Amino acid sequence: MEELSLLFNGFAIAITPYNIAMMFVGTILGVLIGTLPGLGGANGVAILLPLTFSMEPTSAIIMLSCIYWGALFGGAITSILFNIPGEPWSVATTFDGFPLAQKGSPGEALTAAFTSSFIGAFFAVLVITFLAPMVAKFALKFGPAEFFAVQLLTFCSFVGMSKEPPFKTIAAMMIGFALASVGMDSVTGQLRLTFGSEEMMRGFDFLIAVIGLFGLGEILMTMEEGLAFKGTEAKINARVVFQTWAKLPQYWATSLRSSLIGCWMGITPGGATPASFMAYGIAKKFAKNPEGFGKGELEGIIAPETAAHAAGTSALLPMLTLGIPGSPTAAVLLGGLLIWGLQPGPLLFVEKADFVWGLIASMYLGNLAGLIVVLTTVPYFAAILKIPFSIIAPVILVICAIGSYTVANAEFDMILMLIFGVIGYVFKKLSYPLAPMVLALVLGKMAEGSFRQALLSSQGDLSIFWSNGLVGGISGLAILLLISPLLAKLWSLAKGGNKAAA
């Protein structure tokens, strides 16, 4: 157990009063950044990076990585309270988090989200501590074809779950894909679907669509329901944390599965957002009562939050061992390492062992600090729902506007957000499902890019998608998940048929 002694050495480095203070500063800032839609962890870290320039590298990276953990925790807050995802990976959290909060249990929803985040992170840090070298090799096996297979798997695990009319589902999903392809085609460098507009060159950012569709769309729906100017009757006391904790152990299988999905997606690197969708989709497929999903099921909060935080945390592993960032925030941290004169890559663990193990130790402590910070805020955040709607609605709208502006520093995006808000309202009323549209918007560009990269390397030969065990296995699993509801239906039909016959 060489790792253990190295880790204890790391704790010795990380636990200084100054570093611990930095951890709390970092997580508090991170929660703030994570809460505000548009202002993501990557932005937050990038903005503070130059200011940490005069700090000692270990303390600086501890603070910056804690901003990142804080952002991972904070993303869930506005998702649950207002249906506005603070971060892309907390979109899936809105599906059940918001309904649960509306039913009068915002405290329960927040506690479940935060605790799951912590569990996912803890699992990922364990993986980083003990499996780093092995896992780094696994990541090297992923080329474009494998990435496409993973994106296919994410997609297949999620579709087939809406109750809406099939053609409306297809339309919504395809609109998502179409919007994803606006802007620069990453493979040929050509502009497409921009119609000569400078604003369209940027493409449609997923977060702006989501802020409009979910955030503004929800406000319009609430307005229509007769100016619900009463606050939600939320029971709030500190005990809600412990009451929720008592319920969590029964979902251990979901937590474990989501942690594994998250680690895998963080390391390979697929990203936290696809991880959260995949975990949600698979949790629903395995759940005892999948009908409850989307109406405030606790499991529907646990799965995406665990996976997102596990992915976000494990994304640091390929950054440290290979020098490839597993997430946008990891990309910025990578830049930070270079600025401090540290060279991420296979030799970092050997040459700068003190730094690496100090950082890993700080991941345990930073996430613990983050959990403490966010759990103490649960009653306050839950209390926000008691504020009358006529105060909270304009404030949410202001936050939506700022959020959509900060994504790309563009005023045009605020107009887009309004348009998406109207689309969200109309689609919701006409039962066009929004979730597949959002997923297509996230995955569309990535999947198309990997697909075409793979074909470029095989010179147009499609067999690359089943050319080896890894890509074939993942694709096979994807297809299986896609047709599993069909198989289940056939199975129950066959069984039911037998019973009827008997």
Residues contacting 204, CB < 8 A, separation 6+: 179, 180, 182, 183, 416, 441
The yes or no reply on residue 460 touching another protein (CB under 8 A) is: yes
Structural tokens at position 341? 């004169």
The yes or no reply on residue 463 touching another protein (CB under 8 A) is: no
Looking at beta carbons, which pairs linking 404-407 to residues 24 or more positions away fall under 8 Å?
404/37, 404/38, 404/207, 404/208, 404/211, 404/212, 405/38, 406/36, 406/38, 406/39, 406/43, 407/38, 407/205, 407/207, 407/208
Q: Which is nearer to another protein, 31 or 128 (CB)?
A: 31
The yes or no reply on residue 15 touching another protein (CB under 8 A) is: no
Within residues 430-449, the interface with another protein by CB under 8 A covers: 430, 432, 448
- Residue from 189, 230, 242, 246 touching another protein (CB under 8 A): that is 189
- Residue from 457, 487, 489, 491 touching another protein (CB under 8 A): that is 457
- Residue from 237, 247, 394, 486 touching another protein (CB under 8 A): that is 394
Choose the binding region for another protein from 47-55, 251-259, 301-309, 488-496 (rule: CB under 8 A): 47-55
Q: Is the dihedral of CA 132, 72, 221, 209 positive or negative?
A: negative
| Element of type H or E holding 147 | helix 144-158
The yes or no reply on residue 353 touching another protein (CB under 8 A) is: no
The yes or no reply on residue 345 touching another protein (CB under 8 A) is: yes
The yes or no reply on residue 482 touching another protein (CB under 8 A) is: no
Structural tokens at position 129? 């501590």
The yes or no reply on residue 133 touching another protein (CB under 8 A) is: no
Alpha carbon distance 46, 40 (integer Å): 10
Q: Which is nearer to another protein, 114 or 280 (CB)?
A: 114
**Minimum distance, C-beta of residue 352 to another protein, in the bound complex (Å):** 12
- In degrees and rounded to multiples of 5, residue 184 shows phi and psi of -85, 130
Q: Which is nearer to another protein, 119 or 172 (CB)?
A: 172
Residues contacting 487, CB < 8 A, separation 6+: none
The yes or no reply on residue 455 touching another protein (CB under 8 A) is: yes
Cα of 470 vs its chain's centroid, Å: 25
The yes or no reply on residue 495 touching another protein (CB under 8 A) is: no
Q: Which is nearer to another protein, 140 or 488 (CB)?
A: 140
Within residues 284-343, the interface with another protein by CB under 8 A covers: 318, 322-325, 328, 331-332, 334-335, 338-339, 341, 343
Q: Specify the amino acid at residue 402.
A: I
- Residue from 247, 289, 388, 468 touching another protein (CB under 8 A): that is 388
Alpha carbon distance 488, 285 (integer Å): 10
**Minimum distance, C-beta of residue 283 to another protein, in the bound complex (Å):** 28
- Residue from 4, 12, 192, 291 touching another protein (CB under 8 A): that is 192
- In degrees and rounded to multiples of 5, residue 203 shows phi and psi of 80, 180
Any bridge partners for residue 192, and if so which? 183
Q: Which is nearer to another protein, 459 or 498 (CB)?
A: 459
Q: What number of other Cβ atoms are within 10 A of residue 103's Cβ?
A: 14
Q: Is the dihedral of CA 149, 151, 152, 158 positive or negative?
A: positive
Return the exposure string of 300-312: e unless at least 16 CB atoms fall within 10 Å of the residue's CB, then b: bbbbbbbbbbbbb
Choose the binding region for another protein from 245-253, 304-312, 396-404, 466-474 (rule: CB under 8 A): 396-404
Binding residues for another protein, rule CB under 8 A, total 124
Q: Which is nearer to another protein, 256 or 456 (CB)?
A: 456
The yes or no reply on residue 89 touching another protein (CB under 8 A) is: no
* Cβ–Cβ under 8 Å, residues 365 and 93: no
The DSSP code for 36 is S
The yes or no reply on residue 48 touching another protein (CB under 8 A) is: yes
The DSSP code for 268 is T
The yes or no reply on residue 190 touching another protein (CB under 8 A) is: yes
**Minimum distance, C-beta of residue 223 to another protein, in the bound complex (Å):** 5
- Residue from 219, 282, 375, 443 touching another protein (CB under 8 A): that is 219
**Minimum distance, C-beta of residue 176 to another protein, in the bound complex (Å):** 9
Pattern 135-174, another protein, x by CB under 8 A: ----xxxxxx--------------------x-xx-xx--x
The yes or no reply on residue 16 touching another protein (CB under 8 A) is: no
The DSSP code for 232 is P
